[in-house]
Amino acid sequence: MKFSQRFAHACSHQQSLLCVGLDPDVLRLPRPLRDMAKLDPNLAIETFCLGIMEACAPFCAAFKPQIAYFASSRAEQALERLAVVARDRFPHHLWILDAKRGDIGSTAEHYAREAFDRYLADAVTVNPYMGTDSLAPYLAYESRGIFVLCRTSNPGGDDFQMLKTEKQQPLYLEVARVAAARWNKMGQAGLVVGATYPREIEAVRRVAPGLPLLIPGIGAQGGDLQATVKAGLGGFGAMLINSSRAILYASGGDDWQAAAAAAARQTRDDIRQAAA
């Protein structure tokens, strides 16, 4: 199954456009897991993320582990085990590794192996700054996907993404155009576009109407959900809207799983209402 088909299936099967980001910060773990984290942060992170996945699975179509949160706590083994759980227990959900890799040659080949062979990712976020050479090793995995950084949610993205090309359009739109024309021949490419810039989501949708979008920036980052959904919706399954901290840390007490589930349900419902 092509990645584009897998993407559409996940959204349709789950009847959701929500992606739950897994950003496990040991300093913010719920109170019941803090003592565990002092003794074994690897186990605490795995327990926390598994609890979030079990609680939120009915309300989302994807999980997005951010590799830095695992690596900084030496919890790569936890991420490996969670990848197996995602594959075996949540087969209708996407597993998106947020790594933002962007190297070339044999280094890029090893990064691709890390994402797809070690962490079993359905897709990985990538940085296109070094061009097609940096993406080719990922595209060699024909059933897997890439989400190319296009118009990111941070203000500093303006430094380069808004620079005008010789065609007098901002660089981020050239990234979207090349992704649609050159990197999506096997239905593998998607774009990362931040919810903090809904007008620019509209512009990306015009340039790359068929590409799935991964949209961070709602919740803790303050993106306008209503405007984001209206800007990015190009048919059901055309985008995933990510929320991380607002769901993960909805409660720091004994009810952390129930609170996360409630936050995920509410976010899913809010997205549905905005799309109606």
Give yes or no for residue 236 having a pLDDT over 80.
no
Give the model's pLDDT for residue 222: 59
Could you tell me what percent of the chain has a pLDDT over 70?
97
Partners of 96 in the β-ladder? 123
- What total number of domains does the chain contain? 1
Give yes or no for residue 42 having a pLDDT over 50.
yes
> Pick from 101, 63, 68: which is nearest to 82 by CA?
63
Mean pLDDT for the stretch of residues 61-78:
97
Check residues 158 and 180 and name the one with the higher pLDDT: 180
- Find the domain containing 96 and state its range: 3-275
pLDDT band at 276 (very low <50, low <70, confident <90, very high): confident
> Pick from 123, 38, 21, 22: which is nearest to 78 by CA?
22
Give yes or no for residue 53 having a pLDDT over 60.
yes
* Catalytic center residues: 100
Lowest mean pLDDT, pick from 53-62, 78-87, 208-217: 208-217
CA distance 160 to 156: 8
On the CB side of 24, CA atoms within 13 Å amount to 32
Give the model's pLDDT for residue 235: 47
DSSP output for 243-257? E-HHHHTS-SSTTHH
- In CATH, what number is assigned to the domain containing residue 152? 3.20.20.70
